[in-house]
Amino acid sequence: MGLFDFLFKRRKQDSDHSKQIQSEKVILESKSPLRTDKVISEPKSSFRKGIVSAQKVDLNNFSAKQLREKFIAFDVETTGLNPVQDRIIEIGAVIFCDGKPTKSFSTLINPGIKIPASASAVNHITNDMIFSAPDEVTAYKQFIEFLGGALTGDIMMCAHNARFDFNFLTNTLSRLGYDGDFKYIDTLSLARKRISGVENYKQSTLEAYFGLNNTEAHRAYSDAENCGQILVSIMDRMAFTGASPKQESECITSKKLSENELRVCAYIQNIIVESGGDAAYLRFRKSSADYVCVACLYPFIKFKFSKRGPYIILRKESTSKIALPSEPCIASEGGATFSRIYFSNISDLQPLISDIFALYKHNQQDLVSYLSEAPNSQEIVQGWMQQMISLSPADIIHLLSPDRSLVDPSSNRIPLSAITAISGADFELKTAFTLYDQGEAARKEGNIQEALSLFENSRLHGYHVPALYESYALAYRKIKDYEHEIQIIEEAIAHNPESAEVMERRKSRALELLIARQETQQRSIKSKQQAVSKNNSQKKPRGRAIIQTTDDGVIIKEFETVAAAVRETGINSKSIRDAANGVQKHAGGYRWIYKDCSSSQ
């Protein structure tokens, strides 16, 4: 017996069993008059009927650990709804590792029965398409090899409306003589618990909700891959890390919330209490990606203090209630159906109170159900709560008084009074945000002076987040204005202590560049001076120095060369040389003597 059959306890076939199988033929009928008979392998009585089970698993931090590492998303297309009488005609499966699809399996199957027109109308699979497809024995042998440890429950699986898919799968594998024990997550029931505000929970609706594209809906492979993406997106939204309780505790305690982050938490807790909610189970924690999660059993709100400024993540419909800057979320934050809403004061969140409270109520109802139904639920919940941050009424009072701006509108570059005059008490964050974006676009296009002007205007409107200062510094670095770069970095450190370490490194580099440039300039000046001095020291007159005298020997003037004497006196150069050489006595009425000869004379 081969290893494959041994692992899955398949009984050996009798030596003539294949002949018995070949004796049965089922002829597929079609509207087409020309068809070829297809031999269908149906198991005979000599086959051992397998024992296959499928167990639904709840999504929690323990199962999430396994899912984060690896899982298989799965989907089938069938001839009907009855898992005993009907058959699977297409299988699609995708292996996900670390939340990303890495390997896939897809095949049509010829089950030996005719596909009803009603089934083809849904999945668009026809009898002609499966005519040349592998039979069940061949297809499922390949599929079992692909599943690997999933058949024994070592690798978890997922499907949408998973009970339907696994009823068909377990019935088929059992009929073919396989044993198995599947463990799976049902994304349909999971979405019903964790996703609110959607019209229904069909896979196509959830695909639109998470911004997923399905070019071949109701085909097994495409549906399986998107089912896996939906599971990953839900885990991301619920902030499941897959860590053990000890690891999770270490992660939570190591990520301390800043005072500004605590003030946002306090504001959210306060509006929940004032709206009639109970804060007894409300807790806060900071994830490894620096998102602050507001949780009631599970996280229901996330916000983050980013380089561009603090923002809260809500459904994009919430943006219509406020006049604050916003942008679509990235995939790990929920995709295009969610928005980042930027704010400067916690009071900016006031128009969102009803949205925040609705999310809290949804989680609070789940918590009540969990506490009333799950065994040992109270101990489990209390254990998780102890690992997270809670705020007492005294903490709320302290953190919310006074209501300071989360983005400091003061600046050392322009007097505080000047900035206040421009921005007023409630400075225009949306205008400042727009100016910064325009400046960043100009900087990337190489229009540095325009970018610097826009950055300054954004700053004057009260935008003092790390992203602005970083762009400011990059612009100055581009034009090698290191003095202003250092100045803006020093202001950044004063306004944003949390980014001081990064900015200090940038400042050190700017200082190095500035010093290097000054040293280069000094070396250049010194080199020029030395060159001039050298030229002066090496410069020699072209000719002999000559002296103009009277007949009595009184020196009238010395000239460096005869040419110099000619230029000044206008006397013929030949006459001067002849007088100096004794050929004639005078030149121009004067006597002339070469200087190097005058000392000897």
Nearest CA to 140 among 222, 46, 76?
Answer: 76
At the fourth CATH level, the homologous superfamily of domain 3-237 is: Ribonuclease H-like superfamily/Ribonuclease H (3.30.420.10)
Summarised one tens digit per residue, pLDDT across range 455-485 is 888 877 777 778 888 888 888 888 888 888 8
At 47, list the tokens: 């086959």
251 has pLDDT over 60: no
Region of 98 please: left (phi>0), alpha (psi -120 to 50) or beta: left
Give me the pLDDT at residue 185, please.
94
Give me the pLDDT at residue 407, please.
44
Give me the pLDDT at residue 64, please.
83
247 has pLDDT over 80: no
517 has pLDDT over 90: no
37 has pLDDT over 60: no
pLDDT above 90 covers a percentage of the chain that reads 23
568 has pLDDT over 50: yes
**257 phi and psi, to 5 degrees?**
-85, 140
Mean residue pLDDT across the chain? 79
**CATH of segment(s) 416-518:** 1.25.40.10
Nearest CA to 115 among 82, 85, 78?
Answer: 78
**235 phi and psi, to 5 degrees?**
-60, -40
315 has pLDDT over 60: yes
Give me the pLDDT at residue 70, please.
94
| Rounded CA separation 11/123 (Å) | 35
Between 364 and 430, where is the model more confident? 364
Are 284 and 270 in contact, with CB atoms under 8 Å apart?
no
Which residues are the active-site residues? 218
Give me the pLDDT at residue 45, please.
42
DSSP state of 462: T
181 three-state secondary structure: strand
Give me the pLDDT at residue 1, please.
43
Residue 47 banded pLDDT, cuts 50, 70, 90: low
The residue ranges of every structural domain in the chain are 3-237, 245-399, 416-518, 546-598
> What mean pLDDT do residues 284-311 have?
86
At 355, list the tokens: 């949205």
| Rounded CA separation 296/105 (Å) | 39
Its CATH class, for the domain covering 546-598, is mainly alpha
Give me the pLDDT at residue 333, please.
78
410 has pLDDT over 60: no
